A = this chain, B = another copy of it.
Amino acid sequence: MRNIDVTNYLADKKALVDAALRRSFGKNNPLFDIMYYSVDSGKRIRPILSIASYEANGGEDVESIMDVACGLELIHTYSLIHDDLPAMDDDDLRRGKPSLHKKYGEAVAILAGDGLFAYAFELMSRGEDRAHEKLAVVRAVSEAVGPAGVVYGQLLDIGRMERSPKTLRDIHLNKTARFIAVAVKAGAIMARAAQPKVERLYEAGLCLGMLFQYTDDILDIVGEKHALGKTPGKDEVSGKITAPAVYGLDGALFRARRYADLARQRFGALGADFDVFCQITDFVLRRTY
């Protein structure tokens, strides 16, 4: 793959995802409008990674990955809605506007999250073709975002755990890295990549996911409310176990760079088709500059 302008690349893919998400809403009943309130913004990192992986693995019909891509974004959105609830992180601001429970109340926010979660699986299982691949995606995604993945990570995150490197790693790995990694894996599955390659991509995705959460933690300290679209400094006040809290800001930056090196190395080893992932890795790391 030629050297690309990664900012343009991400913007193009985001536009594709935004359009597909719009098509998936705007029908049925009022609940869909409420859910779309939270869906209608976001960087679309997970769907973009699934599309990039699908294409890097030789997938030629981008439409055939879009339901999976949208499903990943809906799951991410549901997890943000539930994370923001008063009983959890109690966040008033998300993606630059009032969080869903501030807008519609707590009960509706719980249900909108539940609705998005279910609708994600409906989208991912849509259509009769590629049944084996779609079933494998449903299996991998439900595992990554479930009680041995994202939900477990969130449980650790809200728990009063000892502030240690091990706890930090468990939270980051489960809450973020597995989900990022399974997005990369899902694209490879849909492109019918060979099993060993799928697994190597998952491993590379884990490094990218760890990097992503490290830069998120760092941005919470150095970022501005405007750029973040959520309340910065919140982690510090609430005593969250973050990379800077465990390693200090310099230590967190050092480790972020190390995860970036590892991710580039693993993606790079898969050949020139995967250069785009090295550039996305650089892009994520640069967020902290």
Q: Give the B-binding residues of A (Cβ under 8 A).
A: 28-29, 31-32, 35, 79, 82, 85, 87-88, 105-108, 110-111, 113-122, 124-126, 128, 131-132, 134-135, 138-139, 142-143, 145-152, 154-155, 158
Contacts and interface: CB of A to CB of B under 8 A. Distances in A.
A253 to B, nearest CB: 30
Contacts of A138: 121, 124-125, 135, 138
B147 A121 contact: no
A150 B122 CA distance: 14
B119 A142 contact: yes
* Copies of chain A in the complex: 2
A155 to B, nearest CB: 5
Contacts of A122: 139, 142-143, 146
A105 B151 CA distance: 16
Contact of A151 (B111, B134, B139): B111
Tell me if A's interface is mostly helix, strand, loop or mixed.
Answer: helix
Contact of A88 (B107, B119, B131, B146): B107
A28 B121 CA distance: 23
B158 A107 contact: yes
A196 to B, nearest CB: 17
Contact of A148 (B29, B79, B143): B29
Contacts of A114: 79, 82, 113, 117, 151
Given A110-B82, A152-B115, A155-B111, A31 B147 contact: yes
Given A82-B114, A118-B142, A135-B135, A108 B155 contact: yes
Contacts of A134: 135
A176 to B, nearest CB: 16
Closest 7 A/B residue pairs (Cβ): A118-B146, A115-B147, A87-B106, A121-B142, A122-B142, A125-B139, A115-B151
Contacts of A117: 114, 117-118
Nearest to A117: B117
A107 B132 CA distance: 36
Contact of A85 (B110, B120, B142): B110
Given A115-B146, A138-B125, A143-B122, A151 B106 contact: no
